[in-house]
């Protein structure tokens, strides 16, 4: 008997190929799991039961014909800010509540071409603005490790879905930490690729110079495989890079025993981190010393990263969200004239945090303030990038915590935006610099909450980031399975 709850994508592919299981069975097991645990966790906004079963039947036909594809018959979920043709794409916002995507994102086209099956769309903070999934206009998602706690955000639905095995993998988006932070909170692997490695075509834009799509999975190998399928140049996204995509699975095997020079930025380790978490992370670092050269480094402009981000991201969001005017997309408020219609549609359609960001952005870009805020922030962003470029002259990779604390309680930070913003201090600099970063689980606190580390690499060295993560995963040698799975 196959234990579906322990299955990885690579294992499932083998079983499918040998005919030990069918894709239909896999999809039905996934749907069963959703019926069982999602009423509590609430990871999904939309489940496409019928579509998933149909695609699974098609996958089974292809498998029987001996067809080989990288993800043939594998059920995964997709964050609800990535367009799948014919399915709702709500961004967890009232303003897009009734919006049905008329086309596929490039990542969806690529996953489809390799035979992946889309189970449904996962919950997020509205327009990916948040760190807890509490900003969803529909409902908060809960952490599978402790239902009283947040799963992180903004891709909290994707992380929680993978952690509770409602799909074997997922795609999220990461603008300031939205893949890595929820991955850390839910005890799964999550990666933000180098800016430009994955096409953003069909991802609803939040802050276009920072947004990047990336994978979630339960293992580093599965993460590498998902990234393989979605990475590569796309003429439909002018910021997607024309670079050769390495064979990630091959790379991580080749680097299985490579000794790296790893930098620990003192600014990250000197800042306030939960002491139990710090202990677990230091233990891992001790173990890594057996093979790797570990060195303290400095990223001196780290302290300005959150402030810089909260000028640049809202400024870009202000501009990107101007298109939601009640005319072109989704929600339209009843009103007497056009101007009132714009105003009312936006006032009723957007939630509190989104409005806060729009106002911050409008302010930062206003005449007379542009130089003081946006231009200044852009300059500091360059300094932050240079910190990393200097560091990578001395080290191959950088290792840091992902978050300052383990997952916090639902409601704990929602009324204090600054506290919420600070939960991303270790992930935001990576987006500002456009670097690849991954979150890998390394342990559990005494409260049974996941702890993770972040590996950061130079631009377009995503294979190195995955390789270090793979070594860490081997060193930790533990499966992170929340108890909700055995209930």
Question: Which residues of this protein are in contact with ligand GLN, per CB under 6 A?
Answer: 128-131, 154, 174-178, 206, 313, 424
Residue carrying structure tokens 């039947």 = 57
- Cβ-based nearer residue to ligand GLN, 55 or 133: 133
Q: CB neighbours of 173 closer than 8 A, spacing ≥ 6?
A: 79, 81, 82, 128, 154, 155, 179, 203, 206, 211, 212, 213, 214
CB neighbourhood size of 466 (10 A): 29
Residue 412 CB, shortest distance to ligand GLN, in Å, is 15
Spatial distance between the Cα atoms of 193 and 415, rounded to a whole number of angstroms: 31
Residue 348 CB, shortest distance to ligand GLN, in Å, is 22
Q: CB of 190 within 8 A of CB of 438?
A: yes
Spatial distance between the Cα atoms of 433 and 137, rounded to a whole number of angstroms: 31
The gap from C-alpha 383 to its chain's centroid, in whole angstroms, comes to: 25
- Cβ-based nearer residue to ligand GLN, 154 or 223: 154
- Cβ-based nearer residue to ligand GLN, 152 or 167: 152
Handedness of CA 231, 237, 240, 242 (dihedral sign): positive
Residue 424 CB, shortest distance to ligand GLN, in Å, is 5
Residue 58 CB, shortest distance to ligand GLN, in Å, is 33
| Structure tokens belonging to residue 80 | 């609800």
Q: Which residues are catalytic?
A: 79, 154, 178
Q: CB of 136 within 8 A of CB of 165?
A: no
| Nearest alpha-carbon partner for 126 in 134, 139, 136 | 136
224-241 CB burial, b ≥16 within 10 A, e <16: bbbbbbbbbebeebeebb
- Cβ-based nearer residue to ligand GLN, 30 or 89: 89
Handedness of CA 315, 316, 318, 322 (dihedral sign): positive
- Cβ-based nearer residue to ligand GLN, 306 or 442: 306
CB neighbourhood size of 448 (10 A): 12
Residue 54 CB, shortest distance to ligand GLN, in Å, is 32
- Cβ-based nearer residue to ligand GLN, 79 or 142: 79
Q: Which residues pair with 75 in a beta bridge?
A: 117
| Structure tokens belonging to residue 439 | 């979150």
Compute CA distances 249 → 105, 111, 219, 463, whole Å: 24, 17, 12, 9
| Structure tokens belonging to residue 74 | 């594998």
- Cβ-based nearer residue to ligand GLN, 44 or 206: 206
Residue 313 CB, shortest distance to ligand GLN, in Å, is 5
């Amino acid at each position: 008997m196959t234990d579906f709850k322990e299955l990885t994508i690579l294992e499932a592919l083998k079983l499918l190929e040998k005919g030990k299981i069918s894709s239909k069975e896999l999809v039905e097991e996934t749907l069963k799991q959703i019926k069982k645990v999602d009423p509590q966790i609430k990871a999904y906004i939309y489940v496409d039961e019928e579509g998933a079963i149909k695609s699974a039947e098609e996958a089974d036909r292809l498998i029987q014909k001996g067809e080989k594809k990288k993800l043939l018959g594998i059920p995964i979920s997709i964050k609800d800010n990535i367009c799948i043709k014919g399915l709702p794409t709500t961004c967890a916002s009232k303003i897009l509540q009734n919006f049905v995507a008329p086309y596929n994102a490039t990542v969806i086209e690529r996953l489809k071409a390799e035979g992946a099956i889309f189970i449904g769309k996962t919950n997020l903070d509205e327009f990916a603005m948040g760190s807890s999934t509490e900003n969803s206009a529909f409902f908060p998602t809960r952490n599978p490790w402790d239902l009283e706690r947040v799963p992180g955000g903004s891709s909290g639905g994707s992380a929680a879905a993978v952690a509770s095995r409602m799909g074997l993998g997922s795609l999220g988006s990461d603008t300031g930490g939205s893949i890595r932070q929820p991955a850390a909170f839910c005890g799964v692997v999550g990666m933000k690729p180098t800016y430009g490695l994955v096409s953003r075509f069909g991802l609803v834009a939040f802050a276009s110079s920072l947004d990047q799509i990336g994978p979630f999975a339960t293992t580093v190998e599965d993460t590498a495989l998902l990234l393989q399928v979605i990475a590569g140049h796309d003429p439909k996204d002018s910021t997607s890079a024309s670079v050769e995509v390495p064979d990630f699975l091959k790379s991580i095997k080749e680097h299985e025993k490579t000794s790296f020079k790893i930098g620990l930025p003192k600014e990250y380790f000197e800042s306030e981190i939960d002491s139990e978490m710090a202990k677990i992370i230091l233990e891992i670092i001790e173990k890594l010393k057996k093979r790797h050269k570990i060195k303290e480094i400095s990223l001196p402009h780290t302290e300005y990263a959150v402030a810089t981000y909260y000028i640049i991201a809202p400024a870009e969001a202000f501009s990107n969200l101007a298109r939601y005017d009640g005319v072109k997309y989704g929600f339209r408020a009843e009103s007497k004239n056009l101007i009132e219609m714009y105003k009312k549609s936006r006032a009723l359609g957007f939630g509190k945090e989104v409005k806060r960001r729009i106002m911050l952005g409008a302010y930062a870009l206003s005449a007379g303030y542009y130089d003081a805020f946006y231009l200044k922030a852009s300059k500091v962003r360059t300094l932050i990038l240079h910190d990393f470029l200097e560091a990578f002259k001395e080290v191959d990779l950088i290792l840091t915590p992902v978050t300052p604390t383990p997952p916090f309680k639902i409601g704990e930070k929602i009324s204090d935006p600054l506290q919420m913003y600070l939960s991303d201090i270790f992930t935001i600099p990576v987006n500002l610099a456009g670097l690849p970063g991954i979150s890998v689980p390394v342990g559990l606190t005494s409260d049974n909450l996941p702890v993770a580390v972040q590996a950061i690499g130079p631009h377009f060295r995503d294979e190195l980031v995955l390789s270090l993560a793979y070594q860490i995963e081997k060193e930790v040698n533990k499966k992170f399975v929340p108890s909700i799975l055995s209930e």
